[in-house]
Chain A
């Protein structure tokens, strides 16, 4: 019997590899092909499908491929694993092709999710949302999506769990220092739901269209650190991704001149970019320390003067000058932290002193307007800095300050 004769009588596949919930089509097809020790072309040929279809990007469905037989292919694959067609159709992303990562770049995902899959005895799959160009965050674990090809494999082909755990920790830590803009995070979520065909709202919320214009078809996938750049693009301070886009002529909106090929890895590796981003973080932290310290100085002066009851036209200037000289001598974050703690204590004392004991006492809005919010803010700042101080080593402070 020749192969042409066999083709006329295809059989269902030996193993019924079914798609996992929310798994992307390519991920499922790769598992199916791998389970049967063949290639996509070989699988399609076995099922009596045109081998050329194996080279198409079928993950977007018939609308994206533009092939009339894409639907029949999905039906045939469902028959091959003996499941309902709707189960396979649920793996497709009904978004346009521009909103999806290129097929060779669909390897970003959450390592913590993979760990959970492994512990639950499930296959490690790529989820549908992870294949969108705008995706950079695992909402379940608040972790940055990373290149899962970086996870080393053991001799038996399984992922190395220790490396996966390390990568998961890095993915969570990468987002800890960033201050995200909530409206953009919300827009990111809504845009993902819309692209995945899960949006229930009839009217899009304001700003969603602008977000989708900027990010849905973005070209940041040309660099390995695309998720890191996207994460910064969702922060309050978006200078870095803007500078990056300008440097590499990657426009924020589609339609302009675009690079066709991915840049070589030597152009800007992820490690280099991470170092740069860390430097920006340090600079931002230093700036924030300086602001807080200035507030602490003002508050200290106010508290001091309130305590000693000095009066006179130049009390504020004198006090600030004295505390400023003291502050300039502080050279580390630990000292800045100590200064903040002192300022916090002063603020609390000032607040307590100025708080009216009785309802009949006159209310001084100037004191309340200054001392109370400042004390609260300083309390929070100290708590945050103490928490960060426990996790990361002290960063030299004031060395580069102007």
Chain B
């Protein structure tokens, strides 16, 4: 059991390492965001819209940015009693409105919610941003705002604008491709924003390299076998070039081989069988 845990940790570490080594585009985006955190907002903070398909690694990029910002900007020695959060990361809650987004941010900032919190939620978030020396606010799954009604959407965008202006802090919102147009209704936010896209993996050498690294990280036997052209092409076609799908397919191939056929060695038939488990609407 302990060995399995250790192996799991090792594989997770290997995956993370492989991801950042091999994915130049993600690394460039991370550098952009870390550089943004180092810039003075100067009364006109920037809003970065990070978009890409589900599973392309937007959340991982945000986590990596948070880790690197913490390393780049350590807590000062004479810091007061406020918690030091150089990067604040939250996920857009269900039924996203201005209040609920602010409550989610407050929760992450460590402010207990009471019945009276809603009266001052936006002001309190802005106040804590200053006290906790936050340089970058990241809001994930921002495409959920688009599913809200027109009024709620407007409300959510207002909260973003207030946060950036009153908190005087840069912001990054991450979501699906459709979130690229999230600021189309708000000229002020649109003029402050830049868009970073995560494009799917191209067929050929980059995908083969990714498959090899993932297979090695998951712990499949003979990992180079999965990067051979025939199998790599099938995996790429089934995964649609999405990082998360590559990983899912390899993981479930291993499960099929182990659970269904009782062996550790993963064969092409197992990959094919695992691909059938995926919903067909992904193909559309």
Contact = CB atoms under 8 A, between A and B. Distances in A.
B112 A1 contact: no
Contacts of A1: 91, 93-94, 100, 104
A3 B116 CA distance: 15
Nearest to B79: A16
A1 B96 CA distance: 9
A19 to B, nearest CB: 12
Most buried by A among B93, B110, B132: B110
Most buried by B among A1, A2, A13: A1
B132 A14 contact: yes
A1 B108 CA distance: 13
A292 B10 CA distance: 90
B83 A38 contact: no
Interface in B73-132: 81-83, 91, 93-94, 100, 104, 107-114, 116, 128, 131-132
B100 A39 contact: no
B59 to A, nearest CB: 14
Contact of B83 (A6, A13, A18): A13
Given A1-B93, A6-B107, A16 B112 contact: no
A121 to B, nearest CB: 12
A14 B113 contact: no
A18 B111 CA distance: 16
A2 B114 CA distance: 14
A11 B100 contact: no
A142 B276 CA distance: 83
Interface stretch (A42-50, A151-159, A231-239, A389-397): A42-50
Interface residues of B, number: 20
Given A1-B100, A1-B104, A6-B107, A15 B112 contact: no
Contacts of B128: 14
B112 A11 contact: no
A38 B116 CA distance: 9
- The majority secondary structure among interface residues of chain B is loop
A15 B82 contact: yes
B114 A12 contact: no
A11 B109 contact: yes
Contact of B107 (A11, A16, A80, A82): A11
Most buried by B among A38, A39, A80: A38
A3 B107 CA distance: 10
A12 B110 contact: yes
Contacts of A43: 112
Nearest to B108: A11
A369 interface: no
A16 B104 contact: no
A241 B40 CA distance: 69
Contacts of B114: 37-39, 42
Contacts of A11: 107-110
Nearest to A35: B81
A18 B113 contact: no
Given A1-B100, A38-B112, A43-B112, A15 B93 contact: no
A14 B82 contact: yes
A174 interface: no
Most buried by B among A2, A12, A14, A36: A14
A113 interface: no
A385 interface: no
B251 to A, nearest CB: 24
Contacts of B131: 14
A17 interface: yes
Contact of A16 (B82, B111, B113): B82
A14 B107 contact: no
Most buried by A among B91, B108, B112, B132: B112
Interface in A81-120: 82
B102 to A, nearest CB: 12
Given A1-B94, A1-B104, A46 B112 contact: yes
Contacts of B112: 13, 36-38, 42-43, 45-46
Given A12-B83, A15-B82, A17-B81, A3 B109 contact: no
Contacts of B83: 12-16, 82
Contact of A15 (B81, B100, B108, B116): B81
A1 B93 CA distance: 5
Contacts of A13: 83, 110-112
Most buried by A among B94, B109, B111: B111
Contacts of B81: 15-18, 35
Interface in A299-354: none
A13 B132 CA distance: 11
7 contacts: A3-B113, A13-B111, A14-B109, A15-B81, A16-B82, A37-B116, A42-B114
